[in-house]
Amino acid sequence: MKRLWAPWRMEYILDDNKHGSCLFCDVSNKGAKKTDRRKDKKNFILFRSTHCFVILNRYPYNSGHLMVVPYFHTSSFEGLSDDALFDLIKTVDMSVNVLKKVLSPDGFNMGLNFGKVAGAGMESHMHMHVVPRWTGDTDSMPIIAETRVMPEHLRKTYDKLLKSFSG
């Protein structure tokens, strides 16, 4: 029998709002300029720009796995203004630089998944994944035990990264 301790999953399991609404719209307050930073901390939001926000992935492939999400609800680039697209890419660039500074990865995987068949769990709200990678960061656990080993708790990773996103 496989057991993996993941206490952050209980919030998701008990969340009454997980069905029928958009997680990204819910946690972002749809682009509110002023927001309660305690809610950002609870939701793992690291940074807010004019058109998008950076959030730590609750179900990461690796420590430091971030997502950059536009406030505008769209499943693809459709409907995003040139300013929003530029802001999205600049925020991805800033996120990479913060991850380099704080976590010193050897490289990155980045990706956009459009639509359910592309592997998107949130196919109705476009977002970009930024996944830091290290030489030898995977071992036999995902292959043999179908289990990923996360070396650091999400809250600790969040606290380390937040300092660099804040300035």
| 93-149 confidence digits (pLDDT tens) | 999 999 999 999 999 999 987 777 766 667 788 999 999 998 877 654 454 445 555
Please check whether residue 136 lies inside any domain of the structure. yes
Please check whether residue 81 lies inside any domain of the structure. yes
Q: What is the mean pLDDT of residues 63-73?
A: 93
**From CA 136, how far away is CA 15, in angstroms rounded?**
36
pLDDT at 152: 75
Please report, for the domain that includes residue 34, its CATH number: 3.30.428.10
pLDDT at 143: 46
Please check whether residue 12 lies inside any domain of the structure. no
Q: Is 72 helix (H, G, I), strand (E, B) or coil?
A: coil
Answer with the residue of higher pLDDT: 145 or 86: 86
Q: Is the pLDDT of residue 155 over 90?
A: no
Percent pLDDT > 90 in the chain is: 41
Average pLDDT, the chain: 81
Structural domain containing residue 120:
21-166
Please check whether residue 14 lies inside any domain of the structure. no
pLDDT at 167: 63
Q: Is the pLDDT of residue 71 over 90?
A: yes
Convert the pLDDT of each residue in 20-43 to its tens digit. Answer: 678 888 888 764 555 566 789 889
What single string gives the DSSP state of each residue in the chain? ------TTHHHHHH-TTSSSS-HHHHHHGGG-SS--HHHHHHTTEEEE-SSEEEEE-SS-SSTT-EEEEESS--SSSTT--HHHHHHHHHHHHHHHHHHHHHH--SEEEEEE--SGGGT-TTTTS--EEEEEE-TT---SIIIIIS-PPPSS-HHHHHHHHHHHHH-
pLDDT at 130: 96
Please check whether residue 9 lies inside any domain of the structure. no
pLDDT at 118: 66
Please check whether residue 11 lies inside any domain of the structure. no
Please check whether residue 150 lies inside any domain of the structure. yes
Domain count, the chain: 1
Q: Is the pLDDT of residue 18 over 60?
A: no
Which residues are the active-site residues? 127
Please check whether residue 95 lies inside any domain of the structure. yes
